[in-house]
Amino acid sequence: MKKILLLLLLGLSWAGVAQSKYTIEKQLQLNTVLRGDIEDSILVRSADRIVKMISRKELGSNENIRPVSDSLPGIVDTIALQELGGVDKLINGVRIGRGEGNSPNNVVLGDHILTTNTTGDYNTGMGSYALEFNTTGYANTAIGNSSMNANASAGYTVAIGAAALSKMVSGLGQSVAIGAFSMSDATSTDKNVAVGTYSLRNNTSGFSNTALGHSSLTASTSGNSNNAFGNYSLWNITEGAANIGMGKFAGRYITTGNSNIYIGAEGDPADMATSNIINIGNKFISKSNNLVLFPQQTIALINSDTTGKAIINKEYLATVTAVVNATTTELTTTNLNTQYPNAQIGFRVHCSSVSGGSLVYEKTSDAWIKYASIVVNP
C-alpha cells in the first residue's frame, strides 16, 4: 500500500513539472485583490495569449494593450482609444466637438459640420451637413440637416429646420429662418425673417422681408420690405416690394405690384401688377386710381370734381348743400343732371368763373334755377 501511494505522488510531481502552462476556460475573478495605484503591477493578457503581471507604467509603451483611463481600471486589446479631450469625437457615426479651425467657441454635433471652417467663430451646427462650408461666418446657429450648408461668410444668422437657408453663401446675414426649406434658395440676402415651412423659399436676393406662416412669400425672388402674416399670404409675389398681407391667402394674386395692403382678402386676379391697393375683407378697397369703394351694401363712390375736391353721390348728398364748379361757360340742365344726378332740393352749384358774370344754380323739385351773382370784393 505504501508503494502504491509513493508511485502516485511521484506521478503527480512529474506531471506538474512536465505541464508548463494551464488553460483557463472560464472567467477568472479575484475578489480579494484591492485596487492599486500607478506603481502597481497588473494582470494582463498579451498578444501571445499569455497571462502575466506587468507594471502599469509599461502600458503606455506596449503596442498591444492600452489603458482605458488613468483613473478607471481596465484595458483594451490592440484597439487604440481616443483621448477624452483635445479632439472631436465620432460616436456611432455622429461627430461631436468644435469642427475645423478648432475654435473653442464653436459647437459641432453631427457629421460634415464646419468641415471647411477657418476663422469662423461662435457658430453652432447640429445635424448632418449643417454649416458644412462655413469658412469665416460668425455667430451663426444652424439646426437641422443641411441648414446653412453653403454659407461661407454670412454671420449672425439663425436657421432651424431641414435645408433652412441651405444655399445662402454670403451677404450680411442677420436673418432668421425657422421651418423646413424656409429661405432654402436664398443666396446673398440679409435681414429677412421666415417662420413656417417653405416660407420665403425662393427668395434669392430680397431683403428686409417678414414671412410668418406656411408658404408665405414663398415665390418671392428679389422683392424687399414685404410683410406676410398667415399661411400662403402674398405667396405669388416675385419682385413686388413694400406689400402687406394678413390672413390666409391674403394678396395671393400680387406678383410685381408695390405698396399694397390686403387684410383678410385674397384680392382679384387682375391685381397682379397693380400698386397702392387697400383691400379689407374684399369689401373696402382703395385702388390705384385713387377711387375708394365702400361696402357693397352702400355702394358709395367718392371721386373728385374738376377742381380736385371730393364730391359724393349715390344718395349721400343729404348733408351737402353746395359745391363749386370751375366751369367758364354756362351750364345746361343736362350738364347739371349729369354731374349731380342725386342732388337734393336746395342743392346749389356756384360758378364764379363764368365769363360775363358769376352764376349760381339751385336744384328745385323738378328743375334747376339760375341766379346771377356778384363776387364780393375783399
Query: Tens of pLDDT along 43-80?
Result: 666 667 676 777 666 655 555 555 444 444 444 444 45
- Cα 110 off chain centre by: 21
pLDDT of 38 reads 53
pLDDT of 237 reads 96
Residue range 350-373: mean pLDDT, rounded = 91
| Short-list 345, 347, 354, CA closest to 373 | 354
- Cα 46 off chain centre by: 58
pLDDT at 258 over 60: yes
The Cα 115–Cα 180 span in angstroms is 23
Residue range 81-97: mean pLDDT, rounded = 69
pLDDT of 310 reads 52
Band (pLDDT 50/70/90 cuts) for residue 140 is: very high
pLDDT at 296 over 60: no
Of 93-97, 188-192, 312-316, highest mean pLDDT:
188-192
Which of 37-46, 122-131, 189-198 is the least confident region? Answer: 37-46
- Cα angle for residues 99, 130, 234 (degrees, 5° grid): 150
| Short-list 329, 357, 333, 328, CA closest to 343 | 333
pLDDT of 75 reads 46
pLDDT tens digit string along 103-116? Answer: 889 999 999 999 99
Rg (C-alpha) for the chain, rounded Å, is 44
Percent of the chain residues topping a pLDDT of 90: 49
Residue bearing cell 449643417: 130
The Cβ of residue 25 has, within 10 Å, a number of other Cβ atoms equal to 4
Residue range 84-88: mean pLDDT, rounded = 63
pLDDT of 89 reads 76
Stated pTM of the model: 0.59
pLDDT of 76 reads 46
The amino acid that residue 73 corresponds to is P
Cα separation values, 35 from 29, 61, 69, 75, Å:
14, 22, 14, 14
pLDDT at 286 over 90: no
- Determine the longest span between alpha carbons in the chain, in angstroms: 169
pLDDT at 177 over 70: yes
Helix (H) or strand (E) holding 351: strand 348-351
Of residues 248 and 34, which shows the higher confidence score? Answer: 248
3-class DSSP state for residue 266? coil
Percent of the chain residues topping a pLDDT of 70: 68
